Amino acid sequence: MANRVLSNAVSSKRPLGVTVRGLFYLIEGSIAIFCGVSLVIITQYMATYMNRFSERHEISILFQILDSDLSHVLIILFIIAGVAGIIIGVGLLKRKKWAWRITIIQTLLSVAAGLIYFTHLNTSDPTSKLLGTSSELIIGIVVICYFYQPRVRAYFNGLSKA
């Protein structure tokens, strides 16, 4: 009985890794929203300032890209990803089981994308490809292993609620 009470008291405290991952989601979401809003502002004011430089070909191409439907899609994707990141981060910090599941799924997808990138894309600098992909894979595997630890799973399963 004493072990159960002690176990419940220990698992009711949020694990540090959950806090860190939740904060990273909040930061990533905020950055994505900032990028989306910045892209909106840039595309709104681009036409005004680009008329001065219309004779420069590379600026004209940049304006065409920013004024295209692609920029509108990017804006929407940035904002959706940002809002989703903030929601997931808050869910992790508030001990929501769905946030644990989404974190696992998102991390598995990230690891899979890293493996696909590593095996299929050719780059002129294989060292940077190896370092970038390896670090992404290692971080993903660490996150998955951490979130599957018994005390972390118990925290999200609500086993600490007496």
**pTM, entire model:** 0.77
Please list the pLDDT of the chain residue by residue as tens digits (162 residues): 444 544 444 457 899 999 999 999 999 999 999 999 998 888 777 766 666 665 666 666 666 666 677 788 889 999 999 999 999 999 999 999 999 999 999 999 999 988 887 777 666 667 777 777 788 889 999 999 999 999 999 999 986 443
What's the token pair of residue 68?
A: 């295209």
If you search the block for the tokens 């599941």, which residue do you land on?
Answer: 101
Contact of 25 with 88, CB cutoff 8 Å: yes
Residue (of 137, 143, 138) closest to 111 by Cα position: 137
Q: 41-67: buried (b, 16+ CB within 10 Å) or exposed (e) per residue?
A: eebeebeeebeeeeeeeeeeeebeebe
Predicted confidence at residue 127, as pLDDT, reads 73
